[in-house]
Structure 1
Amino acid sequence: MALKGLSDFLKQFAPYNSGGHKQKSDQAHKRGAHAKDVFDFLHLVKVWPQIVGQKLAKHTLPVKNSRGVLTILTDHPAYGQELSFLQTVLIKKIEAQFPSLKNQIKRLLFQNDPSFFSTKTAMMAKLGAGNKEEEAKKETATKYHPHSPEVKAAKKEALENFNHIEDEEARASLISLYVQTKLK
């Protein structure tokens, strides 16, 4: 077998074409072909209530998906235990909603952290994952000025009801709560 030249010999090993530009490897072609199947984790967070139900979604939140383990944050251990019984059903529902995750989630891991859970849900609400109907209700709720007649009347009524309480701080808190509930 005679060598035609060093450049001919090296062409079989080098990822360069004759123009000197790099050719895409087979893996890059595969990645490009499957780019449309990329998993959007934020979308999972948004559809989480549809997967687990409204009641459980208020107390659970998917946090990360790593190495075949979907980590779910709960605000109480009971919710994690309840969902652990439904693990295979949940994985099937997630795979049905996200075909790109087929056979990618092996198990679910539940972590309990009430303080972090409240922070995380507030952050997700800011990102648009929260219930938009509740946000609309908050925006359309009547806001009263502290010196409006309605607030003054409610404060006067509260002062009459809580005048017997000696502790100033407790009385002020009760008056504030009374006014807030009265004007809802």
Structure 2
Amino acid sequence: MGDTLDKDALGRLAAEVGRALHSKGLLLATAESCTGGGAAQAVTDIAGSSGWFERGFVTYSNEAKSELLGVPAELIAQHGAVSEEVAAAMAAGAVAHSGAQVALSTTGIAGPGGAVPGKPVGTVCFGWSGPGGTRTERLVFGGDRRAVREQAVAHSLQGLLRFLV
């Protein structure tokens, strides 16, 4: 996919997500940290998204992850905010704290700073939660802050499509 995704490609991907959700009668919630609401923006750019998008949480701080999504502070302390464990709890929390049946989550280090041992800049953890359980994934993207965030938004939507199958 390269370091950036063009807006038309992201729009097509978001529309495909909408069709998949609509066909299954499901509502989506997003729980985003490093992407700052980018996934929610991508899906709400699609006309008719009110039929399949319920709400978005932008939980940039650890406190917001706990207060709005119910992510245990102990989990964050044990694994770090950028971890598959926290991504899973964010996605499950978005379902639990909304009227949606499925959710995606993103938490990562977009840069340019913030790297820690074992978690370089570009590290993003994803979560997808729904009636069938919760899945997670950890990837490291290249590029600058904008490129990391764009790639993370696209991957979160691509992963949701795979999760819905």
- For the aligned pair, the TM-score class normalised by the smaller chain equals under 0.3
Larger helix fraction of residues: 1
Larger strand fraction of residues: 2
TM-score norm. by structure 2 comes to: 0.22
Of structures 1 and 2, the one scoring higher in RCO (CA 8 A, sep 6+) is 2
For the pair shown, which has the larger CA radius of gyration, 1 or 2? 1
TM-score norm. by structure 1 comes to: 0.21
